[in-house]
Homo-oligomer: A and B are copies of this chain.
Amino acid sequence: MAGGVSCFECPVRDRTLCRALDSKHLTEVENLRLPEQALTRGSILVTEGGPSNQYLTIKRGWVMTYSTLPDGRRQIHSFDSRGALIGRMVGAEDPSPYAVEALTDIVACALPRQQADKLFLRAPKMALELARAMNRKQEHAYELLMSVGRRTARERVAHLLLDLYRQICASLDAARPDQPIALPLTQQHIADALGLTSVHVSRTLTQLRKEGLVSLHHQRLDLLDVAALTAVASGDR
């Protein structure tokens, strides 16, 4: 075992590829994995145009995936936390079309890609979980695409906050209910995910606050009226 607790005690195991693995295969994973990675906020896990030669599982903290255009315009594709998998399968040797960056200090578990791919052939449950993980990310991207393509700014913001809230609650072990929750994003991040300007995100949030739907200050998010917010996100009112 290479740094950190054993895979058998892994606190995020049932959210990862290793879910439902028998002990023989879990031992193989344990032998394969690299020392646990601890990285600070702002670290780049994958460079745009660089390689992606590991599978990374986020054990603690938040990361984001994004691409940029030559002139600096940025699109954030996804925010990920506990249990999320980072890593390309197609053209993994080729330049990555997107970057992955730590939004907070993080801890991650790394598997070298080539050997992991071989392991997946011996552990088909892992391969199938991998497919599920990829499918989940695909569908999540479709959801965001719907927002960015067809929703108004107000609807987009409402939808994203609901989505993040759900994601955060799901990543908590104890389902802690109505406290404000930590959201390590600036309004610029929200803007870059939603295809808006940070100025307009600010205006939109101000309005939602005035209507008593959300509270968001100093990276603390609280949804004050989930039903109303859901209505806003769906285009009613």
Contact = CB atoms under 8 A, between A and B. Distances in A.
Interface of A: 65, 67, 69-71, 73-75, 77, 88-90, 97-98, 117, 120-125, 127-128, 130-139, 141-146, 148-151, 192-195, 234-236
A69 B231 CA distance: 12
A195 B121 contact: no
A132 B89 contact: yes
A235 B69 contact: yes
Contact of A89 (B125, B131, B141, B192): B131
B73 A150 contact: yes
B136 A235 contact: no
30 contacts: A65-B142, A69-B150, A70-B234, A70-B236, A71-B235, A73-B150, A73-B235, A74-B150, A75-B150, A88-B139, A89-B132, A89-B135, A90-B132, A90-B139, A120-B127, A121-B125, A122-B124, A127-B131, A131-B133, A134-B134, A134-B137, A134-B138, A138-B138, A138-B141, A141-B142, A141-B145, A145-B145, A145-B148, A148-B149, A149-B192
Contact of A90 (B125, B136, B234, B235): B136
A194 B88 CA distance: 25
A98 B134 contact: no
Contacts of A73: 150-151, 235
Nearest to A138: B138
Contact of A149 (B131, B195, B234): B195
Contacts of A124: 120-124, 127
Given A124-B120, A236-B70, A75 B145 contact: yes
Given A127-B128, A131-B133, 11 more contacts: A67-B146, A69-B150, A69-B151, A70-B235, A73-B235, A88-B139, A90-B136, A123-B124, A131-B134, A137-B138, A148-B195
A213 to B, nearest CB: 19
